[in-house]
Amino acid sequence: MSTVPQVAPPRPTAAPAHPAVGAATTLLDAYRPADRLLATPTRTLLAHGVHRTVEHGSEPLSERVARTLREARTERHPAPVVIGAIPFDQTAPAALVVSEALRTGPALTADPLVALPSPTPPPVDWVVRADPEPEVYGQAVKEAVDRMWQGEFSKVVLARSLELTTPGDLDIPGMVQRLARRDPGGYTFALPTHPGRTLLGASPELLVSRKGNRLVANPLAGSTPRSADLAEDVRRAAALLQSAKDLHEHAVVVDAVHQAMAPYCSTMTVPERPTLIRTATMWHLSTTVTGELADPEASALEIACALHPTPAVCGTPTDLARQVIRESEPFDRGFFTGMVGWGNADGDGEWVVTIRCAEAEGSSLRLYAGAGVVAASEPEAETAETAAKFRTFLSAVGAEL
């Protein structure tokens, strides 16, 4: 009787790993305070070292950046990209460089490992000092509203600050981890701005991006704090969509973005009504404005400089709003409400409004938050809004108001 040889079934082969597993979070994990990290909904960038610095000067910033990128190309830099931060006052020195080396990966949201929780911040004895105190900030809001009713201006964005100090060293990489993993769909950044000083945060607002001939801007204006109770959270979101005060504030910003982008576009699409976007702490009215670029020589940064500052971070009319800000705020904004982003030699790039941020230096953190003040604003509500915006960063460091 013949026997049929037994053939072992083929050994199962492991399914190929998801190509994005670890691709973005590896860069997040590798960040150190001397590096430049920028994580956006399209990519994650980690820059090491400095090949060239964009020098300060009287020429328009976009021209100085373009020249720096051209020079890096002639020096056979393999892929020159400028990355860094631009202050609220565009005439002040920027912190932009072409790095020695640039590692790139997909967006954090494409990496499943970003869902893993970040380590809980260790207990820290924070000393918190408000600048100005909430009552003083509320009085500044009231005075601005009174001036609006007298017809001086239409809107101003007033900010306040918190200074956090601790006797120990700051764990900046840990803060960046918590910011990124809490809102991976936003724009997380950590960038040196001066020797020993780091600008870090998680912004929800895209000022403008360019990819080829396509432009996208995503102005946000009109906000409300989120609630831990699901029903209340939904109620607040629905109320924001119906708020006459917030819809007006939002429309002013969208119109300003439309007017500033129009000279660069052959066609534009501006939705009639806003939608909502959410972060871990806030609901925002949001409009995505798109356009086809008319002039291929216009870079993302050139258009960003034309848009900045929008009424969402300054007010309207712009020059008068700047004056009110100088009179009302007891600190220099520096890079707060400026821009962070990247741009390449082809003109593509992403530039983000620098909000939900802090500057770290030594053993202290300086946090910033602002609110749009219009004629219908109430001091208590605007003070509460800034407190809610502070929560994005306070949760990342284990501090409370």
Coil, strand or helix at 385: helix
Helix (H), strand (E) at residue 161: strand 155-165
Instruction: Say which residue the tokens 């990342």 belong to.
Output: 396
Q: How far apart are CA 304 and CA 62, in angstroms?
A: 9
Prior bond of 10 cis (ω within 30°): no
The alpha carbon dihedral of 65, 68, 74, 77 has a sign of negative
Instruction: Say which residue the tokens 């950044």 belong to.
Output: 189
DSSP secondary-structure letter at 85? Answer: E
Q: How far apart are CA 191 and CA 300, in angstroms?
A: 20
The alpha carbon dihedral of 314, 318, 322, 323 has a sign of negative
DSSP 211-250: ETTEEEE--EEEEEE--SSHHHHHHHHHHHHH-HHHHHHH
Coil, strand or helix at 55: coil
Tokens of 107: 């967006």
DSSP secondary-structure letter at 295? Answer: -
C-alpha of 141 from chain center: 24
Q: How far apart are CA 71 and CA 51, in angstroms?
A: 11
Find out whether 162 and 367 touch, Cβ atoms under 8 Å. Answer: yes
Active site residues: 155, 205
